[in-house]
Structure 1
Amino acid sequence: KLLLLDEPTSHLDPGNAIKVINGVLKLKRLGKSLIIIDHYIERWRSVVDEILFLTNGTLTDINGVKDPYVKWRALIKSLRPPEDVGEVICDVSIKSFSYPGSDFEVLKDVVFEVRRGEIVWVKGPSGCGKTTLLRLIAKKFRSREGYVRVHGKTIYVPDNPLLYFSEPTPEAEVLGRLDILSKFGLKELSRTPIMKLSTGERRRLAIASILARKFDLALLDEPTIGLDPKSKYEVLKSIVSLAGEGVAVIISSHDEDLRFISSWVYELG
């Protein structure tokens, strides 16, 4: 039998990704054949027998060849958060949070603040409460033991940005602000249906929309998940640009590349 695995580790923290890779090794030893699609080439290099790189519809054998994304990984490492910050936009103090009807404590003793222009990265293993924290800050849930104070307009963008958009095209989504689309490299796509944009383009459009709609606090859930290094660089650069415009940003993610753009890092779990 042939097993097809599409991005099997992209939604996982590093620890759980290793468990998946070990599981693949066990299947391989049992004689199973697998085809794996993933952007993490080095993660799989010692596991697979052959590596093929797909670009412009053409497959190229890159066994023994250096990472084709090395340029973009270097650019990601060169990114830095803005230096100029302003007043406190969000103040969080959650002593405890459990979902209604459950005794399981999802969050405990979470205390931090975010200033205008800062990028805060909330990290931790899968299931530790990262998304729950963002939803609490967005007032989608409320904690009986603690508080969340936000001074300004807040927006939550889920990992699937299609659930965020309210307009059919990029131009409409940014309220006609073509200058903002240009800032995020999307001007040529201004009238393209959002459904036809790539995942990376949608994520950059969501960031552009936040700026156009003048939100003060952006809550981004896994904004780089499933992206190749080039698209990830463009999204991370866009987040830095957003913060540079004075927007406070809180990101929930297990992507370690967030460390390059983060003003502060908080780990849950």
Structure 2
Amino acid sequence: MDRLDPAAGPAREASGARPSPDASGAGLSPGGGACVLEARGLGFAYPEAGEVLRGVDLSLHAGERLVLAGANGSGKTTLLLLLAGLLTPREGTLLCDGQPRGRSRRAVRAWHSRVGLVFQDPDDQLFAPTVFEDVSFGPLNQGCDAALTRQRVDRALAALGIADLAERPPHSLSFGQKKRVSIAGVLAMEPGVLLLDEPTAGLDPEACEDLLETLAALAASGTAVVVATHTMDEAWAWADRIALFGGQRIVACGPPEAIFRDLSLLETLHLREPLLFGVARRLADAGLLPPGHPLPRTQAALFSLLSQGT
């Protein structure tokens, strides 16, 4: 895998990543998904904390599932806020659909309609008396009339499997239900890019699996989905591509198997290899899995390969 020391320059794609004319993966994905969001040389510093990000290059394609992975405090949330247009980079360029981020009120509104962010804590987003009213806020703010707003809200609630919660007050819901409502509120604005900060934090294993399946379905429908997490097991199971953070930048970017095979890099970044990946890697090295087959990313896939033998 091609990667750099965390203190060095911009990351290059890991071996086997989607073809691209540059390290960020700009252009078309193998499946034909166009580049919908791109960061070039982004840098950012907080007044008190100092420099958080520098020289960040990243691109995102339609229908892609991208994971931003790294230890707590590595800059993942800050990058999401920059991509969403809620922070202004100190240096570098942001482009959506090939167009640079503008500063006019109209340009800002257009960016927020195209790129949606779901915060880690749903209580930071939910405020209306009912779920329906909360999810309606975005479309109404975009200028949709009542009929179109209802259509969008109904679609978003159905996509998240919470149509039955429409008239419930958000404060009466479970944490997992609140998570889904907060995602529906962004989804109702029909963004091309959906950014989520630690979406499975605080959820039990079953709720985590259900939510990741929902996000995969959204990506399959053409939405580019970005998940920031420090949970490597989820990254291994879910991502098309992983960007690893370290030293205030992205130090490696590529397919999950290529990323996680670099055990020395994971150790440098204080990250652990995913449990299922580690088991499958050792089984493959011992000749207990069919040769030449990609490592399985679910328990079911692993058991299926084991049943085939060598």
Tell me how far apart the structure 2 counterparts of residues 245 and 174 of structure 1 sit (CA, whole Å). 20
Q: Deviations over 1:84-116 (max 9, x none)?
A: 5622111012353322366x4311232110011
Which of 179, 188, 192 in structure 2 is aligned with 1:216? 192
Q: Aligned residue for 2:181? A: 205
Q: Deviations over 1:162-201 (max 9, x none)?
A: 2223533222334433343233221222211111111111
Q: Does 1:183 align with 2:139?
A: no
What is the CA-CA distance between 1:268 and the residue it aligns to?
0.6
Which of 233, 238, 241 in structure 2 is aligned with 1:261? 238
SS of the aligned residue for 1:167 comes to coil
Aligned residues of 1:158 and 1:221 also touching (Cα < 8 A)? yes
C-alpha change, 1:222 and 1:245, in structure 2 (3 Å) is same
Aligned residues of 2:62 and 2:224 also touching (Cα < 8 A)? yes
SS of the aligned residue for 1:250 comes to strand
Q: Aligned residue for 2:73? A: 127
Q: Does 1:146 align with 2:92?
A: yes
Tell me how far apart the structure 1 counterparts of residues 38 and 171 of structure 2 sit (CA, whole Å). 36
RMSD: 2.1
Tell me how far apart the structure 2 counterparts of residues 87 and 168 of structure 1 sit (CA, whole Å). 39
C-alpha change, 1:101 and 1:180, in structure 2 (3 Å) is closer
| 4+ residue segments displaced more than 6 Å | none
Tell me how far apart the structure 2 counterparts of residues 100 and 139 of structure 1 sit (CA, whole Å). 18
Aligned residues: 186
Determine which structure has the larger helix proportion and give its number. 2
Map 1:161-172 to 2 at 5 A: 161-165=122-126, 167-172=128-133
Q: Aligned residue for 1:156? A: 117
SS of the aligned residue for 1:168 comes to coil
C-alpha change, 1:154 and 1:95, in structure 2 (3 Å) is closer
Q: Which amino acid letter does the alignment assign opposite residue 172 of structure 2?
A: K
Q: Which amino acid letter does the alignment assign opposite residue 155 of structure 1?
A: G
Aligned residues of 1:138 and 1:154 also touching (Cα < 8 A)? yes
C-alpha change, 1:150 and 1:165, in structure 2 (3 Å) is farther
Q: Does 1:227 align with 2:173?
A: no
SS of the aligned residue for 2:56 comes to strand
Tell me how far apart the structure 2 counterparts of residues 154 and 133 of structure 1 sit (CA, whole Å). 13
Unpaired runs of 5+ residues, structure 1, are 1-82
C-alpha change, 1:228 and 1:112, in structure 2 (3 Å) is same
Q: Deviations over 1:38-72 (max 9, x none)?
A: xxxxxxxxxxxxxxxxxxxxxxxxxxxxxxxxxxx
Aligned residues of 2:117 and 2:186 also touching (Cα < 8 A)? no
Q: Which amino acid letter does the alignment assign opposite residue 120 of structure 1?
A: L
Q: Aligned residue for 1:195? A: 171
Tell me how far apart the structure 2 counterparts of residues 225 and 136 of structure 1 sit (CA, whole Å). 21
Aligned residues of 1:154 and 1:217 also touching (Cα < 8 A)? yes
Q: Does 1:249 align with 2:209?
A: no
Q: Which amino acid letter does the alignment assign opposite residue 93 of structure 1?
A: R
Aligned residues of 2:194 and 2:224 also touching (Cα < 8 A)? yes
Aligned residues of 1:88 and 1:113 also touching (Cα < 8 A)? yes
Aligned residues of 1:91 and 1:150 also touching (Cα < 8 A)? yes
SS of the aligned residue for 1:114 comes to strand
TM-score with structure 2 length normalisation? 0.55
